A and B are shown apart, each in its own frame.
Chain A
Amino acid sequence: MPPNKSVRNGLQAHTTVREDVDVIVIGAGLAGLMAAVHAVNAGARVRLIAQGWGQQMVTPGWLSVCDRAEDDVIAEVRGYAALHPEHPYGRAGDDAMVAGLESFRSAAEAVGLPYAQRKKDGHNMRLITLLGGVQRAMIAPRGIAAGDLTDHHGPLLLVGFAGWRDFYAEMTAANLRRQGIDARALAVELPDQDRWWDLWPGDLARHFDAAPFREMIARQVAPHVAGVARVGFPAVLGMAEHPHVLDDLARQIGRPVFEIPTLPASTAGVRLTDRLRRWLLRQGARVQIGHPVVRGVVEGRRCTGVEVASLGHPTLFRADQFILATGGVYNGGIQTDESGRVWEPLFDLPVVTPEVESRADWYHDTLLIERGHPIHRQTGLRVSTDLLPLDAAGEPVLDNVYVAGQLLAGFNPLTDGCAEGIALATAYKAVHTALELDA
């Protein structure tokens, strides 16, 4: 469709207008990507617009659904949602949560990146953190899930790379040992170490894609696996070839291997994002990263389009339905300033803000306090059970803008152990409501 130039609704002159899709998804985090996947699967024409890739690029890679659950995770969430209808799980409903998780697994499988969970009991896995902590999470990429400590403690061999700055196997192993987990460390050498003074996890992962590099590493590890049940590496086991790298290393070493997430950027997130993006493009969806939406255009209670900053002049993209998945404080979906103002920048939607006197109380005095801080716990958008944004009186402000993911109020994504579960549940719910599909 040729761009048509027009002036309307107070838009700047010479704004290019495009109206070629049914659904526009704003945001490329887990919620935005999965919303685009759902919409494509429902047969809709989809455009995904985002300033940058979302938080999956910096999170460890496992999916927290309800980390605190001691036994069946889904049952725990159902129970919680029933008692807390205002919580995003309560808003989305049980069915959306279950369907959202399931369709994520299918999508990941379809792009060749299987995720695993404890099918037999539905419990959380017990996974190893970078510092040697034990973290519960329900779903994880296959390589990370292979480190689940629930059924087997060890002995584990953790492999680090001498002189590499983002993984210190001895510290991880030592912290595991004091929790009763049999783990020891091995440092292997990287060739030409001097060149690699700023090697990022993704850089190292790409080296693992090459067979000679893997063989060089495997040769150093193999002599040390006697009496070892599993061998852990930092999460750098391949990028494009990741699934093959996992299997090939295990075969060469003669032991199952697993990954421990390391510092951002998250290789698990990069792998997933890259594959979902390619899949969306193959299905004919448009994916635009880099030129952000600068505002929504609203007539009455309907959003008619979003204005995108682009070279020369803004472009107006029109659609029938909009999924707002711009994230929270970290991602820029919520903005703050020095005066203590908290706002949603695209539609200026009503925002729940910390119930404190001033910005001075956004944080408590100690950082790693158990429930985190008011600025994260008490900030976000209130929504209806259809995920439409609400005003203070509880009335929907817009009729065709659905909110998903971390932008939602009612939880602390840093401490509550449910950030990914909420992203998946609400992305599913938002698209199914917007397109009036059966859940």
Chain B
Amino acid sequence: METTSVDVLVIGGGATGAAALYDLARRGVKALLVEQNDLTTGTSGRYHGLLHSGGRYVISDFDTAVECITENTILRRIAPFAIEDTGGMFVATSQDPEDFPARWAAACTKAGIAAEKLTPDQARAIEPALTHDIAAAYRVPDASCDSFDLNHGFITAARTLGSDAWIYQRVTGFLRDGDAVVGAELVDTRTGEQRRVHAACVLNATGPWAGVVAGLLGLDVMIRLDRGSMVAMNIRWVNTIINRLRPPSDGDILVPVGTVCVLGTTSIRTEDPADKHVEVWEVSKILQEADPVVPGVRQGRALRAWAGVRPLYEPPAELAQLETGHDVSRRFAVIDHTERDGLRGFVTVVGGKLTTCRMMAEQAVDVVCQQLGVSARCTTADEPLPVPESSPRHYHQLSHRVDRQEHGALPGALICECEVVTQPQLEAHIASYGDQPVALDDLRRDLRLGMGPCQAGFCGYRAAAILQAAHQSTPEEATRALGDFVNERFRGVRSLLYGHQLRQFTLDELIYRRTLGLDALLDLDQPQAEEVRDAAE
């Protein structure tokens, strides 16, 4: 079995883990990050894109609000490449609690959040799509943040400083030496290959999986999993982030991100850290709530819906004193298991917001360094992250790809017109997997293939054939790969199949069934087709 030694092992490739890896590297600590999927595929990636000013929390959670505005200011400074300064607005309609805006504005002042009162006319001059029924409006320093770019910035910078990140590595167990954790055992989720990593300290930054990972050591870390769904509309209904000026509840934000507008969110308790499903009623709820603020949005075209799982930390009362002893907000916690469980070399960080990921990392790394006897202080807020030049920076921004394509930087046949993915890109990307198996859904995640309005109706067939040619796979395999992909896409948009998107998907189904004959070809491989049909009826 392959064995590696590092000072610190960081588990979790979301924003907190990536920021921690970078923080450790700047303090001169050699660290390795491992992630069970690809980077930014958990809660950090399944995110609405709102870099909070803190305005949303000033009433319900003042400490978090203060953390948000502090970190908002820092992230704008250190990661401008990941942030679009859209600005934000809080808008109340006549339906919202009348006394709330004044209380809210006072709390913003106290928290240090610059909230500038606007007249309804001023608000509509900035955002003409807003309702005429504006009871109160304020401008705040919200921004739109690309969590993929931010994460990539942290990881790239950490690598430059000698740290590394491995993907598709799941922790299956820990290495113990008495009452100390001294490393972990990993399995490659794609090849099944096992590895061992020795580390003087392990940081558990696994978000909704924190309880599961701690559970491998018999530790009890209680988190409440809370699923939130979001809907992306096909155009930027607004260019400014719009928050409903009322106590936080379902469906009260609109976030312009790239070429789309993300509406969110819902809040549903779940038991599954991998829960990604979106219910039809959630989509309806989100649209119904957004419509009074931006009239007509409910009739707009919804492109995608997704859900992320918020890891909300609820310390048990008897442990609260110990666990919140690090001068942190109750909204996130750094658990030093030495104090709590008598186990050295293991630290858990849980809760928080994407906006506060750097601060969470700082406080977690402080505890890790304390255990290691490292006295270097955190410097991640001191200077900008290097812009990750060698990376697919901004790749997932459609306008960036259109610009490259139009200027000849993306030659070759255009395979996915919606998201601008070319045949040479696909071929190069398939080749980059080497002998590893690659599914069309991997190409979707990496290149955004099939993520646009048509949801793979056209590019699915093309990409399946290109993949078959590259891998010399059998027609059975290639046909099944296409079948899996189109069904996956279907599940992704099923909750949005009404109006325009229903028409679009009807065309897709027509292509799959009538033009390609995909259903009949899949049936060739499925002698049990009869039973499937019976089950459906």
State which of A129, A168, A263 has its C-beta within 8 Å of the C-beta of B469: A168
Known contacts A168-B469, A370-B529, A414-B509: A129-B280 contact under CB 8 Å: no
Q: In the complex, A372 Cα to B495 Cα: how many Å?
A: 17
**Contacting residue for A363 out of B476, B494, B524, B529, CB 8 A:** B494
**Does B516 make an interface contact (CB < 8 A)?**
yes
A358 within 8 A of B: yes
B511 near A171: Cβ-Cβ < 8 Å: no
Closest to B533 in A: A370
A366 touches B516 (CB 8 A): no
Complex contacts, A358 vs chain B, CB 8 Å: 280
Query: Main secondary structure on chain A at its contact with chain B?
Result: loop
- Judge whether A340 is part of the interface by a CB distance below 8 angstroms: yes
Bound Cα distance A165, B483 (Å): 19
Chain A interface: which of B52-60, B176-184, B193-201, B410-418? B410-418
A367 to B491 CA separation, bound complex (whole angstroms): 8
A164 partner residues in chain B, CB cutoff 8 A: 413
Stretch of A35-43, A76-84, A294-302, A330-338 with 4 or more beta carbons under 8 angstroms from chain B: A330-338
**A367 and B486 in contact (CB under 8 A), knowing A133-B517, A197-B412, A339-B284?**
yes
Contact B497 A363 (CB under 8 A): yes
Which positions 511-537 of chain B face chain A at CB distance < 8 Å? 511-522, 524, 529, 532-533, 536-537
In the complex, what distance in Å separates the CA atom of A366 from the CA atom of B489? 11
Cβ-defined partner of A171 (8 Å) among B411, B422, B478:
B478
Q: How far is the CA of A55 from the CA of B529 in the complex (A)?
A: 29
- A219, B295: Cα distance in complex, Å: 61
Whether A367 and B517, one on each chain, are in contact in the complex, defined by CB atoms closer than 8 angstroms, is no
Q: Are B499 and A337 interface neighbours, CB within 8 A?
A: yes
Determine whether the beta carbon of B518 is less than 8 Å from that of A338: no
A179 to B513, CA, bound (A): 18
Query: Taking the complex as formed, is A120 at the interface, i.e. its CB lies under 8 A from any CB of chain B?
Result: no
**Cα of A369 to Cα of B529 in the assembled complex, Å:** 9
Q: Decide if A264 is an interface residue (CB 8 Å cutoff).
A: yes
A362 engages B537 (CB within 8 Å): no
- Report if A133-B518 is in contact (Cβ < 8 Å); known contacts: A163-B412, A163-B413, A197-B422: yes
A176's nearest neighbour on chain B, judged by CB, is: B475
Could you give, for residues 394-416 of chain B, a 1 whenever the CB lies within 8 Å of some chain A CB and a 0 otherwise?
A: 00000000000000000111110
Q: How far is the CB of A182 from chain B (nearest CB, A)?
A: 15
Cross-chain contact A171 with B468 (CB below 8 angstroms): yes
Taking CB as reference atom, which chain B residue is nearest A55? B510
Residue of A at shortest CB range from B529? A370
Q: Choose among B423, B478, B497 the residue that contacts A362 (Cβ–Cβ < 8 A).
A: B497
Is A131 an interface position by the 8 A CB rule? Answer: yes
Taken together as a complex, chains A and B put the C-alpha atoms of A285 and B148 apart, in Å, by: 57
Cβ A337 vs Cβ B498 within 8 A: yes
**What's the Cα separation between A415 and B529 when bound, in Å?**
15
- Whether B281 is near chain A, meaning CB under 8 Å from some CB there, is yes
* A340 / chain B contacts, CB cutoff of 8 Å: 498
Interface string of A51-83 (1 = CB under 8 A from B): 000010011100010000000000000000000
Contacts of A371 in B (CB 8 A): 533, 536-537
| Minimum CB–CB distance for A246 against chain B, Å | 21
Are A366 and B510 neighbours in the complex by a CB distance under 8 Å?
no
User: B269 contacts the other chain (Cβ, under 8 Å)?
Assistant: no
A368 touches B515 (CB 8 A): no
A134 touching B520, Cβ below 8 Å: yes
Question: Given A133-B521, A134-B520, A330-B503: A337 and B299 within 8 A (CB)?
Answer: yes
Chain B residues positioned under 8 Å from A375 (CB to CB) = 497, 502
Q: Is the CB of A338 within 8 A of B284?
A: yes
A198 to B406, CA, bound (A): 12
Tally B residues with Cβ within 8 Å of A.
65
B279 partner residues in chain A, CB cutoff 8 A: 360
Which A residue's beta carbon lies closest to that of B517? A133
* B298 proximal to A (CB < 8 A): yes
Indicate if the CB atoms of B515 and A329 lie closer than 8 Å: no
- The yes or no answer to B313 lying at the interface (CB within 8 A) is no
**Distance, CA A375 to CA B494, complexed state (A):** 12
Which residues of chain B have C-beta atoms less than 8 A from A165's C-beta? 413-415, 423, 462
Residue A130 is within 8 A (CB to CB) of chain B in the complex: yes
Question: Chain A residues with Cβ under 8 A from B516's Cβ?
Answer: 129-131, 133
Q: Are B413 and A174 in contact (CB under 8 A)?
A: no
Q: Which residue of the partner chain B has the closest CB to A179?
A: B524
Q: Are B469 and A178 in contact (CB under 8 A)?
A: no
In the docked arrangement, what's the CA distance between A337 and B300, Å?
Answer: 10
Contact residues, A374-433 vs B (CB, 8 A): 375-376, 414-415
Q: Is the CB of B506 closer than 8 A to any CB of chain A?
A: yes
Determine if A368 and B487 form an interchain contact, defined as CB atoms under 8 angstroms apart: yes
How far apart are the CA atoms of A194 and B517 in the complex, in Å?
31
- Cβ of A132 under 8 Å from chain B: yes
Contact B537 A414 (CB under 8 A): no
Residue B461 interfacial (CB < 8 Å): yes
A141 lies within 8 A of chain B by Cβ: no
Distance, CA A339 to CA B532, complexed state (A) = 30
**Given A338-B283, A358-B280, A168-B537 contact (CB < 8 Å):** no
Please measure, in the bound complex, the distance between the C-alpha atom of A404 and the C-alpha atom of B328, giving whole angstroms: 69
B507 within 8 A of A: yes
Chain A residue nearest in CB terms to B522: A368
| Alpha-carbon gap, A196 to B494, bound state (A) | 34
Candidate in A166, A261, A262 with the most chain B CB atoms within 10 angstroms: A166
| B461 cross-chain contacts in A, Cβ below 8 A | 130-131, 263
User: How many angstroms between the C-alpha atoms of A362 and B478 in the bound complex?
Assistant: 29
Do A414 and B503 have beta carbons less than 8 Å apart? Answer: no
**Cross-chain contact of B521 among A166, A175, A339 (Cβ < 8 A):** A175
- Which listed residue (B280, B415, B462, B511) contacts A264, Cβ 8 A? B511
Contact of A336 among B458, B494, B499 (CB under 8 A): B499
CB-CB under 8 A from A286, the residues of chain B are none
The CA of A178 and the CA of B468, in the complex, are separated in Å by 15
The answer, yes or no, to whether B168 is at the interface (CB within 8 Å) is no
Interface status of A135 (Cβ within 8 A of chain B): yes
Query: What 1/0 mask marks residues of chain B from 45 to 72 whose CB sits below 8 Å from any chain A CB?
Result: 0000000000000000000000000000
A367 pairs with B512, CB closer than 8 A:
yes
- B465 near A171 with CB under 8 A, answer yes
In the complex, A152 has a CB within 8 A of chain B: no
- Shortest CB-to-CB span from A416 to chain B, Å, is 11
Q: Is B166 an interface residue (CB 8 A)?
A: no
Q: How far is the CB of A23 from chain B (nearest CB, A)?
A: 28
B299 close to A135 (CB less than 8 A): no
Say yes or no for A320: interface residue by CB 8 A criterion.
Answer: no
- CB-contact partner of B414 in A58, A198, A415, under 8 A: A198
Q: Closest approach, in angstroms, between the C-beta of B9 and any C-beta of chain A?
A: 39
Q: Is A359 an interface residue (CB 8 A)?
A: yes
How far apart are the CA atoms of A386 and B518 in the complex, in Å? 37
The residues of B that contact A360 with a CB separation of less than 8 Å are: 279-281, 495
Which of B411, B458, B469 is in CB contact (< 8 Å) with A194? B411
In the assembled complex, the CB of B502 is this many whole angstroms from the nearest CB of chain A, namely 6
Chain B 208-251, CB within 8 Å of chain A: the 1/0 string? 00000000000000000000000000000000000000000000
Which residues of chain A from 114 to 138 have any CB-CB distance to chain B below 8 Å in the complex? 129-135
Q: What residues of B have a CB within 8 angstroms of the CB of A178 in the complex? A: 475-476, 524
Chain B residues closer than 8 Å to A175, beta-carbon distance = 475, 479, 521
B21 within 8 A of A: no
A224 CB-CB contact with B under 8 Å: no
Which residues of A (156-177) have their CB < 8 Å from a CB of B?
A: 163-166, 168, 170-171, 174-175, 177
Can you spell out 9 A-B residue pairs with CB atoms less than 8 angstroms apart?
A133-B517, A171-B465, A196-B413, A197-B422, A338-B499, A366-B490, A368-B486, A368-B512, A371-B536
- Chain A residues proximal to chain B, CB less than 8 Å: 55, 58-60, 64, 129-135, 163-166, 168, 170-171, 174-175, 177-179, 194, 196-199, 261-264, 329-332, 335-340, 358-360, 362-372, 375-376, 414-415
Closest 4 pairs between A and B when the two form their complex, measured CB to CB: A133-B517, A129-B517, A168-B465, A174-B475
Apart from A55-B510, A134-B520, A368-B483, 16 more pairs, CB < 8 Å = A59-B510, A164-B413, A165-B414, A165-B462, A168-B462, A170-B469, A171-B468, A174-B475, A175-B479, A263-B511, A329-B502, A330-B503, A367-B486, A368-B519, A368-B522, A375-B502
